Copies of this chain bind each other. A is one copy, B any other.
Amino acid sequence: MFHHVKELQFNARVSKPDPKFARLLLEQFGGGNGELKAAMQYFVQAFSARQPYPKLYDMLMDIATEEFSHLEIVGATITMLLGPINGELKQAFEDSGLKEMVTGGSASRDALIHQALMNPQFFVLSGGGPTVTDSNGNPWSGSFVNANGDPTVDLRSNIAAESRAKIVYEYLLQFTDDEYVQESLRFLMTREISHFQMFAAHLEQIQPNFPPGILQGDARFTHTYFNLSNGASARGPWNQGQGPWAGGEWTYVEDPISTVRESNGLTNFQQTAPISNEQMNEIGKKLGKQRYAEISKAVPKSTNQWSAYPQNELESPRKAS
């Protein structure tokens, strides 16, 4: 269960309202790389980790909880940047103070509407609060969440998610002069870096962690590069010389169209590989057995219970009826 603490994790402040920057900042509230996505991604991944991998569960829930706390910081900042809009909208019968807010007193209603059009929904829909959208008004989608039930995949999804969240904060920092806001953004950006390192460290201690999952590839194709574009072609460590694996080199297929034709659609493609498909299968089988054992030991096939009361162990009670 969750508990809410009224203090924000970081002391979010704004120097003055700025509805324009509020719109940009929505990218981190309801956008595809924002805090809600991160929070939900780690929260959802945690479910299948709970019983087989309680240490991973603990880390995922710690970071998910922090991301929900960051979502709160972003929402609070947006709300403060929208400042008096909510109150001014109540002045429906008066000459609304919205004008003053926007332009310093002398603006026409046209200027007000112009401001509103930057993100009309702050004015005519949310009444001065955040919306669960990105900076272009697209609603957050459950499809943003990547959770595939395998730690060697999920942790890589998280490393990439943190990288994207980091660059979006980096870009955002260039669009506000408010030092208070910059301070909060810098804190949030830094935490993406630290989470990146936590996920990387956890992935590192799972061995083997490559390829992700269990099954090994077909040795004829794992180190083969198909040159599928014409003209001058770039060569580098991604398609020539030693690849990022033990033993063996990249195979560069200069003319894939001819190769495909001559090899009956690659079914007859021959390739000396540093390791045979039989050996690869052995590795996969062994790994499959090991992972299966870990998980099936922890997840009962009959009665199951999620928590002990109190929960003093990392492990779930796995009650067997």
Tell me the residues in window 247-266 of chain A with beta carbons closer than 8 Å to chain B beta carbons: 256-257, 260-266
This protein's copies in its complex: 6
With both beta carbons as reference points, the residue of chain B lying nearest to A292 in the complex is identified as B90
Interface string of A31-62 (1 = CB under 8 A from B): 11100100010011101101010111011011
With both beta carbons as reference points, the residue of chain B lying nearest to A264 in the complex is identified as: B309
Interface residues on A, range: 35 or more
A86-B48, A213-B170 in contact; A101/B11 too (CB < 8 A)? no
Chain B contacts for A64, CB-based, 8 A: 4
Closest to A122 in B: B149
> Shortest beta-carbon distance, A50 to chain B, in Å?
7
The answer to whether A222 touches B193, judged by C-beta atoms less than 8 angstroms apart, is yes
CA distance A138 to B127 in the complex (A): 18
Q: Please, how many angstroms separate the alpha-carbon atoms of A135 and B97 in the complex? A: 23
Q: Name the B residues within 8 Å of A153 (CB-CB).
A: 163-164, 166-167
Residues of B contacting A78 with CB < 8 Å?
Answer: 47
Determine whether the beta carbon of B148 is less than 8 Å from that of A24.
no
A227 and B167 contacting across the interface, CB-CB below 8 Å: no
Q: Is the CB of B32 within 8 A of A143?
A: yes
Asked whether A106 is an interface residue with its Cβ less than 8 Å from the other chain, the reply is no
A274 CB to nearest B CB, Å: 13
Q: Does A225 lie within 8 Å of B198, measured CB to CB?
A: yes
> Among B58, B237, B288, which residue has its beta carbon within 8 angstroms of that of A90?
B288
Provide the residues of chain B in CB contact with A228, threshold 8 Å.
1-4, 61-63, 65-66, 69
A117 touches B58 (CB 8 A): no
Which residues of chain B are near A180, meaning CB under 8 Å?
A: 303
In the assembled complex, the CB of A87 is this many whole angstroms from the nearest CB of chain B, namely: 3
Bound-complex Cα distance A288 to B171 (A):
13
Contacts of A1 in B (CB 8 A): 4-5, 7-9, 69, 72, 228, 256-257, 260
- Per-residue CB contact flags for chain A residues 211-225 toward chain B (1 = under 8 Å, else 0) read 111110110011111
Residues of B with C-beta under 8 A to A225: 62, 194, 198
CB pair A231 B310 closer than 8 Å = yes
A131-173 contacts to B, CB under 8 A, are 131-150, 152-153, 156-157, 159-161, 163-164, 166-168, 170-173
Known: A27-B124, A164-B146, A187-B221. Is A62-B306 also a contact (CB below 8 A)?
no
15 A–B pairs (Cβ distance < 8 Å), ordered by A? A11-B264, A11-B265, A13-B319, A20-B114, A27-B125, A47-B129, A48-B129, A61-B229, A84-B301, A92-B284, A150-B167, A157-B163, A170-B214, A183-B267, A200-B244
**How many Å lie between the Cα of A314 and that of B199 in the bound state?**
37
Closest to A237 in B: B201
